Amino acid sequence: MNSDFHKLLFEVSEALVTEELAALKFLSLDYVPMRKLEAIQDPKAFFKVLQEQDLIEPGNLAFLKELLYWIRRMDLLGAHLGSSRGQMERELCVQGRAQVSPYRRLLYGIAEDLTPEDVRSVKFLLQKKLPKNKLQDNASMLQVLVEMERNGIIKEDDLTMLKDILNAFRADIKKKIDNYEEKKKENCSQEELRYPVAVSAHPRGPGAEGETTHLPVETYKMENSPHGYCVILNYIFNNPRYNRKGTVKDGEAVKRVFKRLQFETVEHMDLEAEEIYTKVKEYSERDHRNMDCFVCFIFSQGEKDKIKGVDDEFVNIKDLVSCFSESNCPSLAGKPKMFFIQACQGSVGHPADPPEGDATPLISIPDLADILVGMSTLQDTLPSCSNETGSVYIQCLCDKMELLCP
């Protein structure tokens, strides 16, 4: 099976030229960190990175099929992947099936539509916005777009500068951006109807009784690539007492979602209790200055405020979270740190263990600004999970993030 898979990748890689590799890398930017893509010089290395990121594997080549479709290599789809233009068009019409975002496809389409003379015009108009070495004659339009993104000139929700540039000589392509933005607004309006924003029921002042206002919302900046680490600590427990095969599905779901959201996603399996603490502390001691946040998922067995390692020993959740206090992790000060824990906190029908003398409640841990701890269960309850589909908590969380996060 694996030999057939690698033979297929080899044959596809042999058929790709340099410009097509550049296109594949660009279309994968939402899933693979830019620094990894920049180091890739041949298709085989690109496919290796896709495997490392769990974007392709034996029996799951949907992402590769989609990439080849967008770069119009229908011959490779038919010869090696058993698909066709018509089949891909039908599949990509299904909501949520396309993995390459409309924004990424729009930019790629613009690069494809521009002539060499158009690209020279774009570079000329960007002279005061980008360094000269990024606007050399041999720089492709895809490379220019990457630099525009890197420098914050264009973003998924702000293409104003690109529209202004194109309007000077290619109003037809500028119109494509207008159409994209209009469709995006329509989609956002539909989501607002399904998920209404929170409003305040308090009057705004004298004479405003009964009126409602939007709550002011403070947001964290998410502008780096990658945004940060997404660390998964996953425990299967090869033990007849536990039946935790569904936890693999949870790990796959988290990796899929957070790779799309441009996180450097790493999964660690079956650590002992002391290793859990050591691993979390290791990440807290890294330099996060060029990252926006930190996310940690823990899938295990547990008790009140504790997580079990594969050695059946426990580690206190408060000790793990405290690693990311502002004093212990200054490079993440003022940035969000999120912990999502899928584990029971005792057993239904059994009284909670009496608190230990040093068992400080989570909320009293000092110096824990900008930290969220999400638990899958209340105390003395068991989480709902399935061996086939994973846990309700993690699967629902991932579904909503895919739906609501750009």
Structure tokens at 214: 């939007």
The DSSP element (H or E) to which 339 belongs, if any, is strand 337-342
pLDDT of residue 249: 85
pLDDT at site 244: 56
User: pTM, whole model, 2 decimals?
Assistant: 0.52
Integer-rounded Cα Rg, in Å, for the chain is: 24
DSSP letter string, 253-274: HHHHHHHHTT-EEEEEES--HH
Domains of the chain: 2-100 (1.10.533.10), 104-192 (1.10.533.10), 228-404 (3.40.50.1460)
Q: How many Å apart are CA 123 and CA 140, to the nearest integer?
A: 10
Q: What is the reported pLDDT for 183?
A: 86
Q: Which amino acid is at 293?
A: C
CA dist., res. 11 & res. 81, Å (int): 11
pLDDT over threshold 50, residue 191? no
* Structure confidence by residue, pLDDT tens digits, 251-307: 888 999 999 898 999 999 989 999 999 999 999 999 999 999 999 999 987 777 888
Angle subtended at Cα 168 by Cα 162 and Cα 170, rounded to the nearest 5 degrees: 80
User: Among the ranges 12-16, 325-329, 358-362, which has the highest mean pLDDT value?
Assistant: 12-16
Residue with token string 């009140």? 304
**Nearest-CA neighbor of 280 among 323, 318, 317?**
323
* pLDDT surpassing 80 at residue 145: yes
Instruction: Name the amino acid, one letter, at 88.
Output: M
Look up residue 369 and give its two tokens: 């600004």
d(CA 256, CA 259): 6
How many CB atoms are closer than 10 A to CB 196? 8
Pairing of strands 228-234, 293-299: parallel
Q: What one-character DSSP code corresponds to residue 351?
A: P
| pLDDT of the residue at 68 | 97
- 3-class secondary structure, 280: helix
The span from the CA of 287 to the CA of 252, in Å, is: 27
Of all helices (H) and strands (E), which one includes residue 149?
Answer: helix 141-150
- AA identity, residue 86: G
289, 300 in Cβ contact below 8 A?
A: no
Task: Indicate the average pLDDT of the chain.
Answer: 82
Bigger pLDDT: 216 vs 322: 322
Please write the tens of the pLDDT for every residue from 194-252: 444 433 333 334 444 444 444 445 678 888 889 999 999 998 755 555 555 667 888 88
